[in-house]
Amino acid sequence: MAKLGFTGTATIFDGERGFCNAFSDEHDISKLTEGLGSEFPIYIEYKPYSCARPIHNAIDCALEIRKQLDEPIEAIESIAFRRHPAWAHYHQNARPATYHEAQVSLPYSVAVALVEGDALPPQYSDEKLKDPAILRLSDMVTIEADESLPRGVSCHMTATTKSGRSHTSQIDHPLGSIERPMPAERANFKMHMLGDPVIGESAVGKLVELVNKIETVGNIADVLKATQPAT
């Protein structure tokens, strides 16, 4: 906008009625330009799974344990979670009846991730909500609070099989976070999975291409046009 000549008040940040005075009695205006031109922080997170973000750590735990297992998923006979007290008492419904209930269910999301290897819209379908193999795992999930966990969304999972073997995983930063960026391949996969049925594979491919070079797009209308079904 500035490049095109759009202007505004010169004291938007430090003026008497500016941003800083509006939100704090004390401020250090120099922080606004600290590292300007040399540091470029991008605080953007992505959701790899189609459910409440605080559940993603638990799904990451489940998928990690799924990779560890050298026994069938059916061999699992107990699933124990330890969550930070900030979230330990949420998302406990083991038998969600609807798509949206399932999206805020840790037991179900973990169970379907163990069985299916993912937690995207197909995994939250009415058919999956009634799957005996998924419900068996969901019903065995227990959740306890653990103050020793470092972050509010931290999760520790232990899955024990009938042979007596235990598999554990602890995730403090979920996939897609600043600390654990989501690979471009996963982002593109999710985009195609969601978009292909709506506008077609080729249109989604064009849209992804434009978004990946958004800073060079001369007219935002080109991006909007790319959201239309391919003809």
Q: What is the pLDDT of residues 48-84, one digit of tens each?
A: 999 999 999 999 999 999 999 999 999 999 999 999 9
Most confidently modeled of 2-6, 12-16, 26-30, 103-107? 103-107
Domain layout of the chain by residue ranges: 53-171, 184-225
For the chain, the straight-line distance linking the first and the last C-alpha, in angstroms and rounded, comes to: 33
* Per-residue confidence (pLDDT) for residue 231, from 0 to 100: 65
**Measured between alpha carbons, how far is residue 138 from residues 80, 90, 133, 158 in Å?**
11, 15, 9, 14
Burial class (CB in 10 A: 0-12, 13-18, 19+), 159: buried
In whole angstroms, give the CA distance from residue 211 to residue 226.
10
- pLDDT tens readout for residues 117-142: 999 999 999 999 999 999 999 999 99
Is the pLDDT at 101 greater than 90? The verdict is yes
The encoded tokens of residue 21 equal: 């005075």
Q: Parallel, antiparallel, or unpaired: how do β-strands 76-83 and 166-171 relate?
A: unpaired
3-state SS record for 29-97: HHHHHCCCCCCCCCCCCCCCCCCCHHHHHHHHHHHHHHHHCCCCHHHEEEEEEEECCCCCCCCCCCCCC
Work out whether the CA dihedral 181, 42, 119, 112 comes out positive or negative.
Answer: positive
The strand pair at 155-161 and 166-171 is best described as antiparallel
Cα–Cα distance, 226 to 230 (Å, whole number): 8
Tell whether the model's pLDDT for residue 193 goes beyond 70: yes
| Mean of pLDDT values over 156-180 | 97
Q: What class, spelled out in words, does domain 53-171 have in CATH? A: alpha beta
**Whether pLDDT at 9 is above 90:** no
